[in-house]
Structure 1
């Protein structure tokens, strides 16, 4: 993913500072992403894709397609491990489809709440359905405890972060919906 972001940025004739200005992320953070030192959160990936004027799935997928059909087998999910937070990772679903309005992921949150780019919120709406374990989602004025089978839907501009709140690693289906325009 890091090489793809750098390639897209260079194809647009953007400097790192241009992309920082367009995305609202720091030049230092973007440099770390491009060098493969940091893996962006979903929120940061959305900001990067908006700055690059591409579908966020294009950042994660080695290939891309304009077709609106994607079958993702369990053992073929694109797994993205984040260096921030113990056990923090996600799996992109339907990453190869461009220009979609929903971004589906399987998220494995870290065991501790962390302030990352997503803590300030991001564009769109978010739906989270707990698949395993329990998850705590922290908002500015309160937190919600969700167990297997629980779901939450909210405006993603509301600052939020989540953590696995059980002994076993929690997982959730997260779908982010947003208009690219």
Structure 2
């Protein structure tokens, strides 16, 4: 998806504008320099956790890398008009889960929350990769069911259930019962 290559280009542009070397940004974001190079140069898409760490290290909100445009005032998205934005996976070269994100606020400038509709593809793997990042997440299950590994606990959520969690705790969200799931997720990351 061409939008995915824009993330790396925007990261590189902000990094260079701030006169931060790739090595320094990788260190500040706790990433491997090779990963950062792949994101900037090859269009590799970072995990959501890594994108949050990069945005924090650069001192910008995560939406800076996801926005197509900026609009003052409210952003209205009619049903069925969500823009397919990005697919995130883990840093593992063979990701075990696949998350498709549809932004509900790409047009809203200076936002502090990131609302998404998230489609989760089922996985046959059982050793899910946990991630952590600053901020908070609110998740509402719209379709299917999900399992959430949160620290040492496991939560099973069905259609209509929700959870509000601290993102700094290692966590993973994946489809349960080997079936696709759909969520409303609102992510807050302090700048």
TM-score bracket relative to the smaller structure: 0.7 to 0.9
RMSD: 2.1
1:110 Cα offset (Å)? 4.3
TM-score, normalised relative to structure 2: 0.81
Are the counterparts in 2 of residues 60 and 78 from structure 1 also a CA contact under 8 Å?
no
Are the counterparts in 2 of residues 39 and 81 from structure 1 also a CA contact under 8 Å?
yes
Aligned with 2:177 (options 153, 166, 173): 166
Aligned with 2:138 (options 122, 127, 130): 127
Aligned with 1:50 (options 48, 56, 74): 56
The aligned residue for residue 186 of structure 2 is: 175
Any unmatched runs of 5+ in structure 2? 1-6, 90-94
- Tell me how many residue pairs correspond in the alignment: 176
Are the counterparts in 2 of residues 85 and 111 from structure 1 also a CA contact under 8 Å?
no
Any unmatched runs of 5+ in structure 1? none
In structure 2, distance between residues paired with 1:102 and 1:142: 26
1:114 and 2:119 correspond: no
Tell me the alpha carbon deviations over residues 14-52 of structure 1, each in whole angstroms, 9 at most, x when there is no partner. 111111122122212211211345312222221111122
1:71 and 2:79 correspond: no
Stretch moving more, 37-46 or 139-148: 37-46
In structure 1, distance between residues paired with 2:38 and 2:81: 29
1:86 Cα offset (Å)? 4.9
TM-score, normalised relative to structure 1: 0.85
Are the counterparts in 2 of residues 130 and 171 from structure 1 also a CA contact under 8 Å?
yes
Stretch moving more, 19-28 or 106-115: 106-115
Are the counterparts in 2 of residues 87 and 169 from structure 1 also a CA contact under 8 Å?
no
Tell me the alpha carbon deviations over residues 108-149 of structure 1, each in whole angstroms, 9 at most, x when there is no partner. 23434532xxx2411111111011111111123121111111
Tell me the alpha carbon deviations over residues 74-129 of structure 1, each in whole angstroms, 9 at most, x when there is no partner. 334142123533542212221343432212122223434532xxx24111111110
Task: Provide closer, same or farther for how the CA distance between residues 121 and 3 of structure 1 changes in structure 2, counting only shifts above 3 A.
Answer: same
